[in-house]
A = this chain, B = another copy of it.
Amino acid sequence: LSSSLSDVSRQAGVSLSTASRALDPEATHPVNKDTRKRVVEAATRLDYRPNPMAQGLRARRLKTIAVIVHEILDPYFAEIVRGAAAEAAAHGYLTFVCSSQRDPARESSYVDMLRRSRVAAVLFAAGELDDRRARAEIASQVAAIHRYGGAVVALAPRVERWPTEVTDNVGGARLAAEHLIELGHRRIAFIAGPEHVRTSKEREAGYLGAMLEAALEPIIERGDFTMGSGATATARLLQRRSEVTAIAVASDTMAVSVLAELGRRRLRVPEDMSVVGFGDMPGWEYSHPALTTVRIDLAEIGAAGVRRALAQIDGSDRPPRVRVHPVSLVSRESTTSLRAVSRR
């Protein structure tokens, strides 16, 4: 079977502890050069790999991180997971993925499993769910995780005051709105997410800021960040305010179905309606019309979350608690200036 440290120590003719010290990557304890060489050779010969469970049992913490998302199918979260998993792997960590499907019970049960497994870190990629009981449950689980020396990091704005790596939501939405204003649009609607979701609130605030500054009337319709919700929100919006010429959407995920609804109503994008998204989902630049959107480096946020968690664990983390990641606007095919466009 797999060879253990005791096999290596026997082969090298040293004690267990010497073998352990010789193989310690940190090389914290002094070991004779020749001895180390002998041990390393034996280890190589035997294809020795330390057993993470044994290490974990001792260290009271498994070298593993977990990412909690609302929906792994949503490219927004998938991209965060990808970035986090890649960074984690580079540090020798494996990554658990927990997709709650926005179900508080499911989320609680996941966090409970994670706590029991003594994962080194939990990254909350999603905002808190709208459920008091679940939030209290999470809080106590997180306290337990902290007690055994595990780290918890938020990758979205949350009520809890955890270390946070987050997108510049306000700035991004402002960028989107300003882009449309510069193109000459005046009737600019915003399709937001649910009221209680902070990410959505922040993006809404950015939009409102830009609109107020330009002395334009805000027009807000609400989706729920799921794929299909953009379509229904668009339908409501158009019924209510058919004079709108541009729509800023709080997420690319919703923007897809905004585009679809527009297509179904025979409204051409961008000739009849400009649309700007938020997120810049990788791969979607191949769709048509390619979406003008606010670019977030989601993979980097995931990776930063892992680094942050690791820093928390080894005590090297420094303020500020909330780190904001910059965004930028990528202009593609779905927006154009307000000119003599054929209106309904």
Contact = CB atoms under 8 A, between A and B. Distances in A.
Contacts of A72: 72, 78, 81-82, 85
Interface in A213-228: 226-228
Given A2-B148, A287-B256, A53 B117 contact: yes
A73 interface: yes
Interface in A74-106: 75, 78-79, 81-82, 85-86, 89, 92, 94-99, 106
A162 interface: no
A230 B64 CA distance: 37
A73 B62 contact: no
A331 interface: no
B256 A73 contact: no
A113 B92 contact: yes
A125 to B, nearest CB: 13
Contacts of A98: 85, 94-95
A231 B286 contact: yes
A336 interface: no
A257 B287 CA distance: 6
A51 interface: yes
A99 B263 CA distance: 34
A64 B56 CA distance: 15
Interface string A103-118: 0001001101111111
Contacts of A97: 81, 85, 95-97
Interface string A50-74: 1111101100001010100000110
Nearest to A58: B53
A89 B109 contact: yes
A282 interface: yes
B260 A116 contact: no
A259 interface: yes
Contact of A288 (B78, B115, B260): B260
B50 A116 contact: yes
Interface string A229-264: 011000000000000000000000000110111111
A156 B296 CA distance: 33
A96 B94 contact: yes
Given A78-B73, A96-B94, A114-B94, A263 B289 contact: yes
A315 interface: no
Interface string A39-54: 0000000000111111
A104 to B, nearest CB: 15
Nearest to A67: B97
A1 B148 contact: yes
B73 A89 contact: no
A144 interface: yes
Contact of A89 (B1, B81, B113, B115): B113
Given A283-B228, A287-B260, A94 B113 contact: yes
A226 to B, nearest CB: 8
Interface of A: 1-2, 49-54, 56-57, 62, 64, 66, 72-73, 75, 78-79, 81-82, 85-86, 89, 92, 94-99, 106, 109-110, 112-118, 144, 147-148, 226-228, 230-231, 256-257, 259-264, 282-290
Given A2-B116, A260-B286, A264-B288, 18 more contacts: A51-B57, A51-B116, A52-B117, A53-B57, A66-B94, A72-B72, A81-B97, A81-B99, A82-B99, A85-B99, A89-B109, A96-B96, A97-B97, A228-B286, A231-B286, A257-B287, A263-B289, A287-B287
